[in-house]
Amino acid sequence: MNYQFLVETFFVALSGVPIALLVTIVAMLVALPLGFLLALTRVNKIPVIHHIAKIYVSFVRGTPIIIQIFIIYSSIPLLLKMIFEKYNIAYDIYKINPIWYAFIVFAFSTTAILIEVFRSALSTIDKGQLEAAQAVGLTTFQAYRRIIIPQALVVAMPNICTATVNLIKATSLGYAMSLPEITLKAKVAANIGYNYVEAYIDIFIVYLILCSTVEYIFKRYEKHLSKFKVAKA
């Protein structure tokens, strides 16, 4: 065991944390509203969209994320190339930063997960609350913003936390898109002296610290929401 390399590479792996967090934040910012809206289509069984959302969720939940990465990372450049050639756009698609593909892949995957999270949370809310809110003059949007969504968040927050932590861990697969995140940086450093065991230990420690910190933040926020729920009861 090369302890000097272990210590040095820990900071190399740590330098990939900003990329992992950026991908996580952007993916969640896209997935949260989309997941909620598509969950509403499933709860209210809106024709066509309800079935499309159901198939979408089944596809994502039934396939490994690494396969989704390979499909999206391979197909998007081909589609863009066809479009650019058709409209005579002079741009080398292979110069696109892989982080854009990471945003698409992880937002695509996380949205499907959050659809089920929000669908489950919304199903716990009594429909009579929406009817009562509308009866006193609130619009549907106001009823959701003031009554439905706060209660649904209390129920959904533990699962949103799990989805976020899983997303952070999934960014370790970004190396398949040449994304300079935690895993790729540590593995590149290990290539010189074949110190892969030390590199994997560093990756393990960095992700453990990162995910534990995120879980702690969510637990604090869940505690805040629980107090809010009790106060509103």
pLDDT band for 232, please (50, 70, 90 cuts): very low
For residue 134, what pLDDT is reported? Answer: 83
Interaxial angle between packed helices 149-170 and 98-122, expressed in degrees from 0 to 180 and rounded to the nearest 10? 140
Cα-trace Rg, the chain: 21
Q: Is the sign of the CA dihedral 66, 68, 74, 76 positive or negative? A: negative
Half-sphere exposure of 160 toward its Cβ, with a 13 Å CA cutoff? 23
Name residue, tokens 């024709």. 47
Q: Where are the alpha helices (DSSP H) in 44-97?
A: 49-61, 65-86
Q: What is the pTM of this model?
A: 0.89
Instruction: Report how far apart, in Å, the C-alpha atoms of 219 and of each of 20, 66, 187, 201 are.
Output: 21, 29, 32, 27
Q: Is the pLDDT of residue 233 over 80?
A: no
> In angstroms, rounded to a whole number, what is the distance separating the alpha carbons of residues 54 and 116?
9
Tell me: the pLDDT tens digits for 62-118? 999 999 999 998 898 889 889 988 888 888 888 889 999 999 999 999 999 999 999
What is the DSSP track for 58-71? HHHHTS-HHHHHHH
pLDDT higher than 90, residue 212: yes
Q: Tell me the residue length of the chain.
A: 233
Q: Which candidate, 63, 153, 42, places its Cα nearest to that of 108?
A: 63
Residue that has been written with the tokens 């949103």 in this structure: 160
Q: Which two tokens stand for residue 204?
A: 């393990």
Quick one: pLDDT band at residue 230, thresholds 50, 70, 90? very low
* Cβ atoms of residues 166 and 106 within 8 Å: no
> What pLDDT score does 227 carry?
61
Tell me what the pLDDT averaged over the chain comes to: 90
- Helix and strand numbers (H, E) in the chain are 10, 0
Q: Which of 87-91, 150-154, 159-163 has the highest mean pLDDT?
A: 159-163
Which pLDDT band holds residue 231 (cuts at 50, 70, 90)?
very low
Q: For residue 229, name the pLDDT band (cuts at 50, 70, 90).
A: low
- Indicate the residue type of 6: L
pLDDT category, 51, cuts 50, 70, 90? Answer: very high
Tally of CB atoms within 10 A around 201: 17
- What's the confidence (pLDDT) of residue 216? 95
Phi, psi dihedral angles at 187 (to 5 degrees): -70, -35
Would the CA dihedral through 72, 77, 78, 80 be positive or negative? positive
Give the chain's end-to-end CA distance (angstroms, integer).
Answer: 57
**What does the pLDDT look like over 169-187, one tens digit per residue?**
999 999 899 899 999 999 9
Tokens 């393990």 locate to 204
User: In the predicted model, is pLDDT for residue 150 greater than 90?
Assistant: no
